[in-house]
Structure 1
Amino acid sequence: MRFWLALGLSVTGTGAVAQTDPLAPLPDSQPVAMAPVSQYSPPPLATPALTGFAAYKSRLSGAARSAGVREATIQAVVPFLSLNSRVIQLDRAQPGGVNNPNAIPPFAPYRRAHVTSDLIRRGQARYAANYTRLRWIEQRFGVEPQVLMAIYGHETSYGTVTGGFDLLEALATLAYEGRRRPLFEAEFVAALQLLDRGTPRSRLKGSWAGATGYPQFMPSAVLRLATDGDGDGVANIWRSEADGLASIAAYLRDAGWKPNVHWGIPVRVPPTLNRAAIVSKLVAPRCAPVYKRHSQWKTMREWRALGIQPLGRNLPENEMATLIEPDGRDSTAYLLTTNYRAILDYNCSNFYALSVGLLADAIAG
């Protein structure tokens, strides 16, 4: 799980075609990761006697106290924190990030790198080995089991790469850097709350961006949505694959997943399609560039009337979907259902969500 937000879309503007959002606006929360568990108010900066990161650590201590973190936990962690220059370097080098905000490369190279024959083969083996457990999770949460396996494969290569950064150091560093300070301060406090709940410090390892465990949840997501999937009474997303998969399902349901609705289908777009007539009037309050690439919402029947042809799997005639052409005209396009938005909540990137859906389809055969 990354640190992106899912979006509820609001209708703005006017036009001849009335548009409605087929899914009620999602909660204004970060993907698993982004909704703080406790009330959080940023404290004032530390006294002028301290400077730099030393002063900022005093601010973090104040934030933790205001959230009810035990003083013993604060003193065991905060004084010993150091800035991690590698975390800052990785954050600033993100594709589409602060150094490259407008670049939109084609999807095809990303797909080749993230929907590989190796990931498909290993995903199919994991899917078969966990089939009974996955079906039980599906009955409980309503989420397609192949999507759970695809996210698991995409995030950690099926549990083999979960990250080795110290979560508390990484989150403190990102908060100090300041580009998304409220987010990472809240996540730092949530990580301290995990320690208060008995999670060993040695277990709080993960990505440079603060995600941890098999699902790659941010700390606040662990607090809210970590789920027992193997029936032992403990939700251990670091050591139990079943718990990790059940937690991903809990996350997607929390993000608005609707049972018995497929994420989307590949389609062929006719050369006669009037793209100007299907431009969306919906405005996303956050993550706007991602949603800007989606068309208006129409029923499958309406898309058929416009000449859109499914390539393989179909959707019900009354299912609402939006069109995306990630590789431009004359290439495979996709009709996306409302469940695609739940995947975007996990990581607000069209390339990520598309590759998860396609990997899931390949795993399920």
Structure 2
Amino acid sequence: MHGSSGLRGALRRFILVGTAVLALGVGGAPAVAQDEAGFQAYINGPLRAEALRAGVSARTLDAVLPGLTFNPRVVELDRDQPGGGSTGPIPAFAPYKARHVDAARINRGRETYRRLRAKLERVERETGVPESIMVAIFGHETNYGSYTGNFDLPRSLATLAYEGRRRTLFAGEFIATMKMIDRGVPRDSLKGSWAGAFGYPQFLPSVYLRLGRDGDGDGVANIWSNEADTLASIANYFVEAGWRPGQPWGVAVTVPAGLNRAALANRTVPTRCKRVFERHSQWRSMAEWRALGIVPQSGNWPADHIQATLLEPDGPGKTAYLLTGNYRVILDYNCSNFYALSVGLLADEVEH
């Protein structure tokens, strides 16, 4: 999310980043050794106390904490992430689309769509979230379950909490992971990305606790190996994020050369994901967009009353998109225009 819904200041510590250079701390002790000692003090002191206050059982903590060690690789990966305020030119969408909505992913998506059709139909009937959108999220997050990550979640999340840049976030996710174990989630299933997203839909642990759903009636929301539970959980995420049944996510359009883009520029200041939302135009109804000379590239024009914003990801003269409120729901899963566009386009292809 998803990671769901999103993951983005630096508290520096000595870390061994490779084997070529050994950074020495006070008294000549290797920095990694110092970090290990500090890590153990943190997880067995403040983090354990916080988890107990949050309702995690001592039994679970006693079983998990002794086996955890500091993971410098996770800290390195975290520090390599671009900042939320990054500037510079935005790359073209077309190369990203070619990699993420390619023939292999489309074909595998169609096969998955056919194979799971009975489950998909039931979930769509219950939630209003289209079958193809569920499949597209499944495909984008883990290539239909083929790769879900191999980092140990408790170790990664405890390390990131100790590192401290986003301690509140990662300590909370570590505690959510402990609550999952309390609820019976197998310890060996808790593997995922370095930042804590796991399972077929790549939920953070807190998202799993809130939105994970049992899709096959066995009483377990198993998103790490059960496709029915995965689809139900993805759909539940979209319902909670405000998906409107019966509306498309958007439509590919051709924009006339003479369109007055300055008059349509978004004048509101985004409160989150600034670089994502500042590229969107003002909202207009589909009827208003049609009156401005915009035409769909294929398929049916959405209903006149539906509101949409205009996005030209590759600039004027290239394929543009009119995006509805449901597109914003996809952005809630991963706040990236390229990601959300690719999910929508893959969903369209999967249905064919």
| TM-score computed with the length of structure 1 as normaliser | 0.84
Q: Structure 1 residues 71 and 335 mapped into 2: Cα distance closer, same or farther (>3 Å)?
A: same
Shift of 1:98: 6.6
CA contact (8 A) 1:167 1:205 kept: yes
- Partner of 1:295 in structure 2? 281
State the Cα deviation string for residues 282-310 of structure 1 (Å, max 9, x = none): 33222222111111111001111222111
| CA distance in 2: counterparts of 1:123 and 1:52, whole angstroms | 46
State the Cα deviation string for residues 170-206 of structure 1 (Å, max 9, x = none): 1122223333222111111100100111111101111
- Partner of 2:49 in structure 1? 62
**SS at the partner of 1:192?**
helix
| CA distance in 2: counterparts of 1:68 and 1:74, whole angstroms | 11
Tell me, yes or no, if structure 1 residue 81 matches structure 2 residue 68: yes
- Partner of 1:334 in structure 2? 321
| CA distance in 1: counterparts of 2:183 and 2:89, whole angstroms | 42
Superposition map of 1:45-194 within 5 A: 52-57=38-43, 58-94=45-81, 96-97=82-83, 102-194=88-180
Shift of 1:223: 0.9
- Residue type of the alignment partner of 1:336: L
Length, aligned pairs only: 322
Higher RCO, 1 or 2 (CA under 8 Å, sep at least 6)?
1
- Residue type of the alignment partner of 2:281: S
| CA distance in 2: counterparts of 1:215 and 1:3, whole angstroms | 8
- Partner of 2:337 in structure 1? 350
- Residue type of the alignment partner of 1:205: K
- The alignment yields a C-alpha RMSD, in angstroms, of 1.9
**SS at the partner of 1:68?**
coil
- Partner of 1:209 in structure 2? 195
**SS at the partner of 1:283?**
coil
Larger displacement relative to structure 2 (304-313 or 201-210) = 304-313
| TM-score computed with the length of structure 2 as normaliser | 0.87
CA contact (8 A) 1:321 1:336 kept: yes
| CA distance in 2: counterparts of 1:134 and 1:222, whole angstroms | 20
- Partner of 2:217 in structure 1? 231
**SS at the partner of 1:282?**
coil
CA contact (8 A) 1:84 1:170 kept: yes
**SS at the partner of 2:121?**
helix
| CA distance in 2: counterparts of 1:336 and 1:82, whole angstroms | 45
Shift of 1:114: 0.6
| CA distance in 2: counterparts of 1:356 and 1:215, whole angstroms | 13
- Partner of 1:245 in structure 2? 231
| CA distance in 1: counterparts of 2:282 and 2:65, whole angstroms | 48
Higher-Rg member (1/2): 2
State the Cα deviation string for residues 206-233 of structure 1 (Å, max 9, x = none): 1112111111111011111111112323
| CA distance in 2: counterparts of 1:243 and 1:53, whole angstroms | 35
| CA distance in 2: counterparts of 1:233 and 1:253, whole angstroms | 21
Shift of 1:155: 0.6
- Partner of 1:218 in structure 2? 204
Shift of 1:338: 0.4
- Partner of 2:260 in structure 1? 274
CA contact (8 A) 2:4 2:203 kept: no
State the Cα deviation string for residues 258-289 of structure 1 (Å, max 9, x = none): 10111001111111111111111233222222
State the Cα deviation string for residues 338-357 of structure 1 (Å, max 9, x = none): 01111111111111111000
